[in-house]
Chain A
Amino acid sequence: MGTVLAIQSLSKQYGKIHAVDNLSFEVLKGQVFGLLGPNGSGKTTTLSILLDLVKPNKGTFTWFDSPPSKESRKRIGSVIESPNFFPYLSAWKNLQIVADIKDLGYNDIDRVLSLTGLYDRRTSRFKTYSFGMKQRLAIASALLGNPDVLILDEPTNGLDPQGIAQVRELIIKVAGSGITIILASHLLDEVQKICSHVVVLNKGQKLFSGKVSEVLAISDSFELSSDNVELLQKTIASYPKFRSCTQNGSLLQVYFNDRVEPAQINLFLSQHGIILTHLSERKRSLEQHFLELLEDKS
């Protein structure tokens, strides 16, 4: 697989604040790459540097194994922060300008407008659009001409639940076509649903990187109870994947090192002669997990 993007020790300072601090990572062809971090963690600054809007203080990066240029940017479709279009021009005209800049013909415009559900409103001026439509037009513009890479910065920010679902569905659909996607988001849930690889950022620094399934592996806990809590506690401690447990009245809160199915626990305990009176799985909220990830490091 070819390298789409390689970043070496990129840094950007605004006064005393390190917006991006010695950041390095690589994105390979075909990956759906997540850039995860809380607001102000340097995601947008990183993307702005990668798109030549902001000059880094230090570090280099390459697109498609060559130094960044306007030609490399033509192969990238991007949605950065807010949708930026001429308010007095129609969606159709705005996309014509995009096509002109990217040296594309106009025959792809209808396709991306249909894909984002804006075809019927293509002649309306941009300023008459709702926020969701504006965001979808930005995505349409990014998809124009089937770029090699799609950069999406908080693509569902400010959208209503229906809009969020539509946009995510669209991204997953596009990702299925083999295009490389770089998605910046502060929503763990979003990254987990969409991405295959992730870099977790905080205060401009890289905390973790790797496969989503590894970095964001979530160990759930179970609530167990039986007539003899002490015996239950002893027995469950001998379960291979057992990590820890706390007693909470007649309930045991049990944590495991790996993903465990409730049926496995039930089977294991019944083999040891324990009949459960209560078994429930506790999913930790993803946000909580994310906060823990950040806390561990700082």
Chain B
Amino acid sequence: MIKLLKIEVKKIFTYKIFWILFGLYFFFLACGILLAEFMINNMVDDMNRHMPIPFPHITIYYFPDIWQNLTFFASIRFVMIFPAIIVMILITNEFTFKTIRQNIINGMSKSEFLASKLQIILIMALLITVVLATGTFIIGVSHSGFNDMAILNKGIPYTIGFFVSILAFLIYAFFLAFMLRNTGLSIAIFTLYSLIIEPIVNGFLRSPFIFKNKIYSYLPVSGAVSVTEYPAIPILKRVTGIELQHGVAFTDCLIPVVYSILMIGIVYWVMSKKDL
């Protein structure tokens, strides 16, 4: 396993596009997080112009709610698609450069090749989670100070929940990349599906005229997104009437995990059958 990781690190270490995209992802993630409160309050100001009793300004950077708020933001599908695109580029590159063939010829087995890609996905997901958790902790401390360990209580479930979301999302990208074997096609279809098709289907499934349950969360992308579905912003409940979550449910995590295992299984099966 260490050997596979060593090979994988060599493949991406001097790959500029990888680092540029990964850097951009963190940059925009940080920008989004730091500007979120300002932008939300701008909207609140806008609304208040027509309100007899103005809504108060909200704060999102205080413990313990910051955990829920920032993991919510980082698991929006528009944000998570960024590292997913990186994963698809890394995998489909191997087909474009035919280096997967060369790796097999040189004595790698197909399952080792898949394992090496899963390893790098796991590491990316861990890295993103750790950076997010560290950033959240620093922002939280700078706003509300470090009083006692209790501030971490909410942090652990939300961080784990986010890790499950991002890992599942990257595994979906892994699945599509190995199925389609083409960079442009997999990025296009992944984007189309996760940002357009599934939200439309969601809209129907959420409609109170059809279903009142959470059936939409059984879809793969929505399932991953809905682990940390809502921020801890009470005003949202007052405006939209949505019941906000109060924690990360184990059953919510189960849906993306099941999809991930299924997709990894399909990829292993197809790769063992299909010619390279």
Q: Is A89 in the interface zone, CB < 8 Å from B?
A: yes
Q: How big is chain B's contact interface, by range?
A: 20 to 34
Q: Is A53's CB under 8 angstroms from B275's CB?
A: yes
Contacts of A93 in B (CB 8 A): 10, 14
Q: Is A101's CB under 8 angstroms from B275's CB?
A: no
Complex alpha-carbon distance, A74 and B105, angstroms:
8
Partner of A101, one of B14, B16, B108, B276: B108
Complex alpha-carbon distance, A33 and B97, angstroms:
29
Q: How big is chain A's contact interface, by range?
A: 20 to 34
Q: Is B273 in the interface zone, CB < 8 Å from A?
A: yes
Q: How many residue pairs at the A-B interface have CB separations less than 8 Å?
A: 75
* Residue in A closest to B15 when the chains form the complex, CB atoms: A88
Contacts of B93 in A (CB 8 A): 86
Q: Is A71 in the interface zone, CB < 8 Å from B?
A: yes
Q: Is B102 in the interface zone, CB < 8 Å from A?
A: yes
Q: Is A100's CB under 8 angstroms from B107's CB?
A: no
User: How close is A79's CB to chain B, nearest CB, in angstroms?
Assistant: 9
Q: Is A216 in the interface zone, CB < 8 Å from B?
A: no
User: How close is A90's CB to chain B, nearest CB, in angstroms?
Assistant: 8
* Residue in A closest to B102 when the chains form the complex, CB atoms: A84
Q: Is B107's CB under 8 angstroms from A102's CB?
A: yes
User: How close is B86's CB to chain A, nearest CB, in angstroms?
Assistant: 15
Interface residues of A in 154-169 (CB under 8 A from B): none
10 contacts between A and B (CB under 8 A): A51-B104, A53-B104, A70-B112, A74-B106, A80-B105, A86-B11, A97-B7, A97-B10, A97-B11, A100-B10
Binding site for B on A (CB under 8 A): 48, 51-55, 70-71, 73-74, 76, 78, 80, 82, 84-89, 93, 96-98, 100-103, 141
Binding site for A on B (CB under 8 A): 3, 6-7, 10-11, 14-16, 93, 97-99, 101-109, 112, 273, 275-276
**8 interchain residue pairs of minimum CB distance:** A74-B107, A84-B98, A84-B102, A73-B107, A54-B275, A101-B106, A70-B109, A53-B276
Q: A53-B105, A78-B105, A97-B11 are in contact. List 9 more A-B contacts (CB 8 A).
A: A51-B105, A53-B275, A86-B11, A86-B93, A88-B14, A89-B14, A89-B15, A101-B106, A103-B3
